[in-house]
Amino acid sequence: MSKRKFLWLLPYFPYPILSGGNVRVFNLIKHLSEEYDIHLISFVEDGVSEEEIKEVSKYCASLKAIKRIEREGPLPMIFQCYETEEMTAAITEALKEDYDFVQLDFLTMAHYARLVRVLSSAPLVFTEHDVSWLDFDKCFHNRHLDERARYAEWIRIVRKADTLYDLFDLVITVSELDAEIVRKRYPGKRVVAVPTGTDCSHYTYEKPGDKTDLIYT
């Protein structure tokens, strides 16, 4: 029986594992590959080696890594360096194939939802890794700007996100609290929480002995 397949679009390369987002995404790729053919298109940061790209490609039916470049444009600042002709072309080419669903991760990649909607009828899934952008005081984007400019840019982010959320068939959050925040903001939207777990196969276990240790900081 052939595997189901999906297209996964990422703004950050998931390996090496340097952050919580990397931990989640890389391990999902690793374990979902047992049941799905994963076709991955991801931006890649400077310093990511060919060996590290190959480590991820072991679990993918196809993988295309695209260099992220600094640029300016009409989109809110957080989207600008993720809006490239090469990524648009790669997604367009990939969507000549049929998929069981298409998945986007992180708000910075969400603006490609419109392109996916134009080119594909596959269900569109979005994983929201951090809902702090919904609160101006907690939003970590554009902290280099002065207060007034940062507020104006935050308004642009929220307005843009509001238009994009209409396009998603399913929103996944990393906690139930985040899911409740999204449901409150977007009533009627299908939202599920899928918390980040622990890869138990990564660890070895031993029977506790009689000897005890004390760890303190």
Is residue 58 assigned to a domain?
yes
Nearest 5°: the CA angle 115, 120, 121 is: 130
Is residue 97 assigned to a domain?
yes
With a CB cutoff of 8 Å and minimum separation 6, the contacts of 84 are: 66, 68, 69, 71
Q: How many domains does the chain have?
A: 1
Is residue 208 assigned to a domain?
no
Tell me the average pLDDT of the chain.
89
Sign of CA dihedral 42, 46, 48, 50: positive
Tally of CB atoms within 10 A around 60: 18
Rounded average pLDDT over 149-167: 90
Is residue 216 assigned to a domain?
no
The pTM assigned to this predicted structure is 0.86
Is residue 210 assigned to a domain?
no
Tokens of 117: 């909607």
Q: DSSP secondary structure string, the chain?
A: -PPEEEEEEESS---S--SHHHHHHHHHHHHHTTTEEEEEEEEE-TT--HHHHHHHHTT-SEEEEEE------SS-HHHHTT--HHHHHHHHHHTTS--SEEEEESGGGGGGHHHHHHH--S-EEEEES-GGGGSTTT--TTTTS-HHHHHHHHHHHHHHHHHHHTT-SEEEESSHHHHHHHHHHSTT--EEE------GGGS------S-------
- The answer to whether residue 65 scores a pLDDT higher than 80 is yes
Q: Residue 53: which CATH number? A: 3.40.50.2000
Is residue 68 assigned to a domain?
yes
Q: Tell me the pLDDT tens digit for each residue of 70-115.
A: 767 777 777 888 889 999 999 999 999 999 999 999 999 999 999 9
Q: What is the pLDDT of residue 68?
A: 86
Is residue 213 assigned to a domain?
no
Q: Which residue has the tokens 């660890």?
A: 203
Peptide bond connecting 16 to the previous residue in cis, omega within 30 degrees of 0 = yes
Q: Which residue has the tokens 């039916």?
A: 61
Q: Tell me the pLDDT tens digit for each residue of 120-149.
A: 999 999 999 988 888 777 775 666 777 888
Q: What is the pLDDT of residue 215?
A: 74
CB 36 within 8 A of CB 29: no
Tokens of 10: 């990422």
With a CB cutoff of 8 Å and minimum separation 6, the contacts of 143 are: 150
Q: Regarding predicted confidence, which is higher, 153 or 10?
A: 10
Q: Which domain holds residue 11?
A: 4-202
Is residue 24 assigned to a domain?
yes
